[in-house]
Every structure is written in structure tokens, then in C-alpha cells.
Amino acid sequence: MKLDFSKRKAIQMGIVSVAAATTGFLVRDNTLDSSMEMRPAFLNNEDAVNNEDTVNNEALLKTEDKAVTIHSESESAIKDNLSKTANFDNTFLEDIFLPQEKINVFQSALKRIMRVQKTIGYANFNLVSFDNMILYAHRYPKIGKFTKAEIALIDELFFFDANEYGFYGNKVIQNLTSEINKKETIKISGSGHYLFQGDALSKFNQLKKDVGPDLILTSGVRSVVKQLQLFLAKLDSSDGNLSMASRSLAPPGHSYHGIGDFDVGKKGFGKFNFTSKFALTDEYKKLIELKYVDLRYTQNNQIGVRYEPWHIKVV
């Protein structure tokens, strides 16, 4: 099933024009004559006394009508996008699915990646590169070599335009073989996770100091492979629905965990740290009172990802 491209274009337009739309100003349609004056819809030209003024007024009205239509479509698309992220685990008509003929290859690739994770350890897996993953699979018979079809599918999923299935975030890592420099990271004791040294580590240490000892690191640095594993696992639980999977987490290459962001939670809160229930904790309430804390995926974000009150923005 193909995505409604006109709706997708309207969503993207809404991302950049929503501020103007809510202040009552028109948004310029780039297809219009660049010399044409743009004016708020509520202004009238009462001094039009000749034909030239009349022509200008007619052109202005046409411009305003077109811009208002753009706003209407944009606002509708924004509401549609917000509805999808609020109901991220539901299936929608426009959702994009992995082709049925690729399901078996997808599942075998996911199982092999999971065997790599189990073999090298969960902490090490957070930093493993694509090339090293292939090397481990080659060396360890219990993992088994990746087939050409599996590698081709992984390559296709990484380089496919995520906009096509509803994820509108930036692609922050361009290469599938991109590597994490371990020397630039530090393992956080008791968490099994790493943070990038510098801004990420400083921010986490400050959070621990300001929020309290029950604030924990639940996810830090993620290599392309780690994000791939998480995305494929979510895709599997979503019955091959790429759109649904991307509403829960960023596709590989699009995750800011690969360049600095991290997740926090409440000690002893378990899996609920990755649900909206985290927003009900005292730890979260203290977090949002801190002026230096920003969340990556806010409640009304237009990226196409569910609200993540646990995801700390660093970059």
C-alpha cells in the first residue's frame, strides 16, 4: 500500500509553517510570483481606485485563498500525524508494510543479530559496528554467516527513505558501516550502557545530582547495529508494519543515541520507564523543572514518534 504523498507533503509543510499559521499570517506558496506582496488575510485595501489597484487586489485575494488552503491542509495533516503518534500501536490505512516475500529473510536476519548480541554480550553490543558484526558471525558457528539476502535486506532498510513510511526526523548517521569510537565513550557503572564523554556525560552527572540517586541510565550510546536490532525487533512485534515500528523508535541511522542522546528512568520502575507512566514519577517531575533539560520527542512533536518523556536531548 502506498503512502498518500499529498498528505505527507502537507505534514512536512506543516512542520515549518505551523508557527506562521497560528499567528494569523499567510505562508508564501513558492509557486507564486516572488514579487507578489503577501499580506495578512484581515487587511483590506480601501484605496483601490484604478484598474491597476483592482488587478493587484484580485491577485492578492487569489494568493490569500491559496495560502489559506495550504494552512487548512497543513493543519489537518498535523492533526492526523499527532493522532497517529498518540495511538502509535494502532494500524492506519496509510501504513507501510514490509513486503510479504521478504518476511522470512527479515526474521532470519533478526535472529542472527540477536545471536550476535548474546554471543558478545549486551554491553559490548551497544557499540558494535556493522563490519564487526559480520566478522563475529563469520567466526562463530553458533551465530552463522549472514546470507547475501540478509545483508541486502539490512542495506535496503538502512538506506530506504523513512519519510515514505511516516518518520520525519533527520538522518544523523549516513553510513551503515559507521563506527563508534570506544575511546570517546565511558561505561556507566551498574547500567550496562555507555555515554559519550563530554556533554552527554556532564549532563547525566548533573541530572543525578539534581534529581537524586533513583534516577538511572536506561539507554546510552547505540551503534547503528544496536539501533537496527531494536528497530527490527519492534518491526517483528508490529507484524512487519514499518510505519508502526517507526512511531515507537527511530529507524537505524536516525537515532540521536548514536551521537549523544540518552534515556533515563526511575530505579526499580522496570519496563514502565519506557512508557508514558514515567511522566508520573517524581523523577520526571524534577527533570522538567530543570531549565537545562530538553526532551527529544515532546508530546506534540511532528517527527512521527510517540511521546518519550525519558529521552534526554543532548545534541
Report the pLDDT value the prediction gives residue 22, as an integer from 0 to 100: 27
CB burial of residue 298 (10 Å; 0-12, 13-18, 19+): middle
Determine the number of helices (DSSP H) and then strands (DSSP E) in the chain. Answer: 10, 5
Mean pLDDT of 213-233: 98
Q: Is the pLDDT of residue 237 over 60?
A: yes
**Is the pLDDT score of 142 beyond 90?**
yes
Report pLDDT for 73.
58
DSSP state letter for 32: S
Q: What percent of the chain has pLDDT over 90?
A: 74
**pLDDT tens, position by position, 60-90:** 444 444 444 334 458 888 889 999 999 999 9
2: Cβ–Cβ under 8 A, 6 or more apart, which residues?
96
193 vs 43, more confident: 193
Do 304 and 167 touch, CB atoms closer than 8 A?
Answer: yes
As a dihedral over the C-alpha atoms of residue 219, residue 221, residue 226, residue 230, rounded to 10 degrees, the angle is 30
Percent of the chain with pLDDT over 70: 77
Q: Is 312 exposed, middle or buried (0-12, 13-18, 19+ CB in 10 A)?
A: buried
Q: How far is CA 220 from CA 74, 85, 184, 267, 283, in A?
A: 35, 23, 13, 16, 18
pLDDT value of position 76: 83
pLDDT tens digits along 42-54: 223 334 334 545 4
**Maximal C-alpha separation, the chain:** 87
**pLDDT over 50 at 304, yes or no:** yes
10 pLDDT tier (thresholds 50, 70, 90)? very low
Mean per-residue pLDDT of the chain: 83
In DSSP terms, 195 is beta-bridged to 186
Mean pLDDT of 131-137: 98
Question: What's the CA gap between 178 and 128, in Å, rounded?
Answer: 10
The pLDDT value recorded for residue 192 is: 94
* Range in 37-46, 64-73, 180-189, 297-306 the model is least confident about: 37-46
The total number of residues shown for the chain amounts to 315
pLDDT for 32 beyond 60: no
pLDDT surpasses 80 at 7: no
What's the pLDDT score for residue 157?
97
Lowest-confidence range among 43-47, 97-101, 186-190, 297-301?
Answer: 43-47
Q: In the 8-state DSSP scheme, what is residue 156?
A: H
Of 40 and 90, the one with more pLDDT: 90
Over 50: is that where the pLDDT of 6 sits?
A: no
For residue 24, is pLDDT > 90?
no
